[in-house]
Amino acid sequence: MKLLLAFSRRGQHDPGREPVIARVVKETGVLVNVEKANIDSMAGEMLIDIPDADADQVRRRLEEMGVAVRVMENAIALDEAECVDCGACISVCPQEVFSFDEDWRLRVSSERCVLCGKCIQACPHGALSQQG
């Protein structure tokens, strides 16, 4: 399961100044895969992937430490009314989220998505969007 973490780095004691990921890993023993991290001087955002069974535990611990946690269920959403099954998204995606089925219909494996946004811009038909 993918969790999108948001934290502030303003104050001395904000979670963004603490080694929260390392602490969670150490305490829970859950292996956290950091897929994307965007951290600047004031705030940070991070996408992590963890086994579904451990999600509740990791989420609770992160929230206790002051991190805002959002479960990303369908990171990328396909509007089937707009999609024409061209496949322009397929090769721009670094995660191989998109493929064709045997009838040349576009198949989306959104669990692989790391929210890079490349496909959203590449889609000629405006059929892809990020979960709001």
In the complex, the residues that contact other proteins under the rule CB under 8 A are 84-92, 99-100, 103-105, 118, 121-122, 124-126
DSSP 58-73: HHHHHHHTT-EEEEES
The least CB distance from residue 31 to other proteins, in Å, is 29
For residue 46, the minimal CB distance to other proteins (Å) is 24
In the complex with other proteins, the residue whose CB is nearer, 51 or 126, is: 126
CB of 118 to other proteins, least distance (A): 7
Give the whole-angstrom CA distance, residue 121 versus residue 39: 23
Q: How far apart are CA 41 and CA 80, in angstroms?
A: 39
98 DSSP β-pair partners: 108
**Minimum distance from CB of 69 to other proteins (Å)?**
32
The token pair at 36 is: 């994307």
- Name which of 19 and 124 has its Cβ closer to other proteins: 124
Between residues 51 and 94, which has the closer beta carbon with respect to other proteins? 94
- Helices 55-64 and 20-28, axial angle in degrees (round to 10): 130
CB-nearer residue toward other proteins: 10 or 118: 118
Contact yes or no for 44/28 (Cβ under 8 A): no
